[in-house]
Every structure is written in structure tokens, then in C-alpha cells.
């Protein structure tokens, strides 16, 4: 590198604007962690509510997937189970489940699918 090139680089670097310091990412991560912890605790309460309120035959047919942004998702093993759970929720179950959940549940969503084996579930999930 020649002296002239060094001189030009030094001059350009001296007039380069200094970037403003941004908030550290740890602040954003701490906020995200607290929100995720709150959702995890709420979904755990919803799972406990399902276990305590639902009839035994429905517990065998469906399980709680999670609670995200006020939507409680229940997984039914097949369409017949979906019908039974839906019928129970429409008659008496919705009120019982919402009162026992102690979490802000706006909607209950039913999905069909096989119940995952313990190896399929991620750590810390319901």
C-alpha cells in the first residue's frame, strides 16, 4: 500500500460517521424470554385445567397442544373424537375449562392428528 493510499484511507475513515449505539440484544432477548415464560406457564395451567375438568373418556381422545395468544389448541385423535370433544365443549365444557384455566383464553381450537409419543414431544412441552 502506498503512502498516498494510506493517507486517503485515513482521511476517509476520519470523516466517516460514527454509528449510533443501539440497545443491546440482551434486552430484547430478556423481554422475549419473559413473554415466552408467561405463555408457557399459561399453557401449563390450561393443560392442568383440561386434566382436572374433562371427562376421562375425552382425556383419552384429546390432549392440550398449547396456548398461544389466547388460543387454546386441543388435538383430537380422529374426527369422531373431534365431534365428541366439540359437543362437550358446546354443552358444558367450555365454561368449566375456561374457569379452571386461570389463563386468558379467547378461543378453543380443535385439530385432528395422532397423539405424539413422548419422544416426539420437545422438552418442556405439554
CB 43 within 8 A of CB 51: no
Asked whether residue 122 is domain-assigned, the answer is yes
Asked whether residue 63 is domain-assigned, the answer is yes
Of the two residues 28 and 82, the one the predictor is more confident about is: 82
Asked whether residue 101 is domain-assigned, the answer is yes
| Structural domain total, the chain | 1
Q: 49 is written with which cell numbers?
A: 385445567
Quick one: pLDDT band at residue 21, thresholds 50, 70, 90?
A: low
pLDDT above 70 covers a percentage of the chain that reads: 82
Asked whether residue 14 is domain-assigned, the answer is no
Asked whether residue 20 is domain-assigned, the answer is no
Domain that holds residue 49: 33-126
- 25-53 helix and 94-101 helix, angle to the nearest 10 degrees: 130
Asked whether residue 37 is domain-assigned, the answer is yes
Among the ranges given (92-96, 103-107, 109-113), the one the predictor scored with the smallest mean pLDDT = 103-107
CATH number for the domain harbouring residue 91: 3.30.300
Amino acid at each position: 500500500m502506498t503512502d498516498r493510499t494510506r493517507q486517503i484511507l485515513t482521511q476517509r475513515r476520519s470523516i466517516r460517521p460514527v454509528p449510533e449505539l443501539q440497545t443491546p440484544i440482551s434486552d430484547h432477548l430478556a423481554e422475549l424470554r419473559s413473554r415466552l415464560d408467561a405463555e408457557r406457564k399459561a399453557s401449563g395451567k390450561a393443560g392442568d385445567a383440561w386434566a382436572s375438568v374433562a371427562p376421562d373418556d375425552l382425556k383419552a381422545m384429546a390432549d392440550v397442544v398449547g396456548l398461544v395468544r389466547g388460543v387454546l389448541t386441543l388435538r383430537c385423535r380422529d374426527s369422531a373424537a373431534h365431534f365428541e370433544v366439540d359437543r362437550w365443549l358446546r354443552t358444558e365444557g367450555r365454561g368449566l375449562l375456561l374457569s379452571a384455566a386461570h389463563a386468558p383464553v379467547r378461543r378453543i381450537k380443535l385439530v385432528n392428528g395422532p397423539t405424539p409419543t413422548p419422544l416426539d414431544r420437545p422438552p418442556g412441552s405439554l
